[in-house]
């Protein structure tokens, strides 16, 4: 996922774990109630995901942990 400072996010393709489908999507992110929230528009619909977030490494690294299952993704500023 690519996160932009203007509040947008996107990816070229993603594979659904259970279904095997591929989709392109775009959306936006917001900070709300101390959570990092993505609102995504994809080829297959609209969905929202909430994450706990933490900045490290002089704000160059962003850790996003899903509130639903605790899985964590790491993003590095380029």
Instruction: Note if the pTM is more than 0.85.
Output: no
C-alpha closest to that of 76 among 9, 7, 40, 58: 58
Rounded CA-CA distance 59/67 in Å is 21
Range of the domain at 16: 2-76
CATH classification of the domain holding 44:
2.40.128
Rounded CA-CA distance 20/55 in Å is 32
Number of structural domains the chain divides into: 1
User: What was the pLDDT predicted at 15?
Assistant: 60
C-alpha closest to that of 45 among 17, 30, 20, 24: 24
What are the pLDDT digits (tens) for 41-62? Answer: 876 778 899 999 999 999 999 9
User: What was the pLDDT predicted at 76?
Assistant: 93
């Amino acid at each position: 996922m690519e996160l932009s400072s203007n509040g947008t996010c996107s990816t070229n393709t993603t594979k659904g774990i259970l279904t095997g489908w591929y989709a392109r999507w775009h959306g936006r992110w917001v900070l709300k109630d101390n959570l990092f929230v993505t609102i995504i528009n994809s080829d297959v619909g609209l969905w929202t995901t909430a994450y706990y977030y933490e900045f490290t490494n002089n704000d160059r690294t962003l850790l996003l942990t899903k509130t639903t299952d605790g899985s964590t993704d790491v993003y590095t500023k380029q």
